[in-house]
Structure 1
Amino acid sequence: MRLYSIIPQLDTITYDLEIADQFSHEAIVHREDLEIHRTDLVSIQIKKLFSAGFFIEEFRAKTTQMLSEEFDASGEHVRFLFYLHGSTSVQNGAGGQNYKHDVGTLLHNYLHNQGASGQMIIEPAEELNYLLLKMSRSFYLSITAGESWIMNDNFHQYILSGLVENRPNESYAIDLHMLKIFEEIFHGTKRFSINTYIYVVLKLKELLFLVHQSRNYANGNQIEAPFRETLLKVKAYLEMNLENPPNAQELAAHFKYNEKNLKRDFKQYFGTSIYAFIVRNRMEVARSLLGNNYNVNELSIRLGYRSVSHCIKVFRKHHGYTPHELLKFEAITNSRK
């Protein structure tokens, strides 16, 4: 699998890699970080993890000028793009299409040379953030072999066929748990110096399972299909903006949804109010960050709380312990094992 990306306006190649296709227990996981700064005009941070069969990238950018990313890939591969923030569009992408990215959307495809290249136009002013996962077809088939849960999945069957058709991307709403897996992968590679490759493979299998569940078994009820699709986008949008969540009025305006109906339909579809959904997900992220050695000040800032004491109060109400008490309790419990 050959992967290439360049930002021509900055004369910067972000990656140029030849990645082995085959799964390998002994493979070494490589990590590369790239930062690009051009005074106050451009700031880009890129984190990359790659090894036999896979490539993972987290891309963040702030720019006051128009930029573009020209990308190319060869060799049969499966591509997942998790679009978190920004205002970008792609020209001559998968299926020969031009399209805009929607915040909170997962795009995936099975590609070869055709459809695997294109140009992403990056609009100025708005912060860009996306996660990219590419797996060779051989690697994908190796890690999903024997998994009964995926055998009836249409996308999986398309990959099994080996008949690449340069189809347009399929899109779905991102689930917060998918993003947690990426965070665990990037943090886990620092924690597990032995068996790092197997750790990442297990996490990628978990990610594929979540994508499969979202694609095939999303909650269904009496809400009509167009509104269900919008509600899933609302949910994903909230999960992408937990540090500065919009209120119901702002959500209704953004998604062109009557505010009263939005509150009613959101609670009916997801079983919770918009406010309770935000608090619950903030606290789930807080618990995850705490387990990844973030201190209370850091997780408070990360989640957009202006007051550390308020963050601790909400954490205690949700989990039954303050962050300090929970870490102390877990330390005692683990010492007894």
Structure 2
Amino acid sequence: MYIESKLIEVNETLFSQDFSHDRAPTLIKEEVNIQSYSWLQARCKIQASKGLFIVETFFENEKDITDIFSVSGEYIQISYLGQGDSHLISVKGKKPIGMGRINCCYNRDTVSTIEMPANIPTHYQAVYLSKEYYLELLKNETWVAESSFHKHIVQGDFQEWGACNFPIDYSLYHILSEITKKDWDSDFKKYFLELRLKELFLSLHFCQHKLYSGVGKGITEENLEKIRTAHAYLIENFKNPPTIKSLARKVLLNELQLKKDFKKMYGKTIRSFIIDLRMKKAKSLLGKYTVTEMAAILGYKSVPHFIDTFKKHYGYTPKQGLNQ
């Protein structure tokens, strides 16, 4: 498996990784920064070992930028556009990648053209696995027998990009964030990643099952897609959430319909959902940051308000939580 990302307008290679030869057993970590242009900043975090490539990239560009993304060999791709308005360009035209959506594919020897428009920051995360790595990773997982995506891979039935995609949920968002982190001890990172990757594929299987089981019954198909997009957008932006009005504009729904269908779909109001996301994140930060730092990270301007919200949610204060 070989992976390359090249930015056409500046003739810069963002990364180029060859997996055709054995690598050291430890995970290789790299950072790439392109800051030599007044109109473009690109920052890329990479982790790689034989058969595995993980990338998280941030773009800030004042002009349109085009990324030619090449992958050789059979591969499985899990990607997520957290921010931006990127489009996949083909002979059939432009296809939006879809912010807040997880895309899964199984393919081989592909060259993709990705267009990122000016003045819209882009953030994406992606995991690439060779077929051999994937099959070895999941060979002892009994649940894969029920996964349609896994069956396609075993049978060599390629699934092009976009054939399997759905809005992200908090579980997937959290797992991807953990996978793309670079601050784990390198001696244990490889084993940690393998566990997280298994969890990622299991969570993807659950998400597919939910979509096919008609979770959104009672909501029109058109509105259902907009509600899922709103849900995904809130997961990405819960630290600095939009107003109901701006969220409604973003997903092209009136405010009343957005609030009504969101509660019908997820069983809670948008405000309650944002609080839940913040509190889940707060619990994961316990012991790593001070209470004041936690409040700031989660977007609370008032520390007492954060403490009060935490206590209402869990029944104890953040400081008391450290002793539990």
TM-score where L is the length of structure 1: 0.86
CA contact (8 A) 1:97 1:168 kept: no
Say if 2:104 and 2:162, in contact at 8 Å, map to a contact too: no
* Structure-2 change in CA distance of 1:284 and 1:204 (3 Å): same
Q: List alignment gaps of at least 5 residues for structure 2.
A: none
Most deviating of 281-290 and 69-78: 281-290
Distance 1:176 1:8 in 2: 34
- The DSSP-based 3-state class of the residue aligned with 1:221 is coil
What root-mean-square deviation, in Å, do the aligned CA atoms of Structure 1 and Structure 2 show?
2.5
Given that 1:57 and 1:131 are in contact with CA atoms closer than 8 Å, whether structure 2 keeps it comes out as yes
Aligned length: 321
Q: Deviations over 1:171-202 (max 9, x none)?
A: 21111221212332344x63444343121111
Which residue in the other structure is 1:333 paired with?
A: none
One-letter amino acid of the structure 2 residue matched with residue 2 of structure 1: Y
Structure 1 CA distance, aligned partners of 2:177 and 2:4? 24
User: What are the superposed Cα offsets for residues 263-312 of structure 1, whole Å, 9 maximum, x if unpaired?
Assistant: 12211221111100011101112222346x24444443333223334333
Q: Say which SS state the counterpart of residue 82 (structure 2) adopts.
A: strand
Contact 1:283/1:315, CA 8 A, preserved across alignment: yes
> Structure 1 pair 49/124, CA: closer, same or farther in 2 (3 Å)?
same
The yes-or-no answer on 1:27 pairing with 2:35 is no
Report whether the alignment pairs 1:105 with 2:87: no
Alpha-carbon spacing, 1:150–1:83, altered in 2? closer, same or farther (3 Å): same
CA change 1:202–1:165 in 2 (3 A) is closer
Q: For each residue in 1:45-75, what CA deviation from the matched residue of structure 2 results, as whole angstroms up to 9, or x when unmatched?
A: 2111111221111111212122121110000
Tell me how far apart the structure 2 counterparts of residues 221 and 82 of structure 1 sit (CA, whole Å). 26
Aligned partners of 2:20, 2:290: CA distance in 1, in Å? 38
Task: Kindly state the Cα deviation for residue 90 of structure 1 after the two structures are TM-superposed.
Answer: 1.6
Structure 2 SS opposite 1:203: helix
Q: Does 1:266 align with 2:259?
A: no
Structure with a larger share of its residues in strand: 2
Measured after TM superposition, the shift of residue 16 of structure 1 is 1.0
Change over 3 Å in CA distance of 1:41–1:297 after alignment to 2: farther
SS at match of 1:98: strand
Structure 1 position 61 matched with structure 2 position 54: no
Structure 1 runs not aligned, ≥5 long? 331-337
* Other-structure match for 1:320: 315
Alignment partner, residue 297 of structure 2: 302
Q: Identity of aligned pairs, percent?
A: 27
Aligned to 1:179, what secondary structure does the other structure show?
helix
Give distance in 1, aligned partners of 2:108 and 2:136. Answer: 18
Alignment of 1:203-222 (within 5 A): 203-218=196-211, 219-222=215-218
Segment drifting more, 7-16 vs 99-108: 7-16
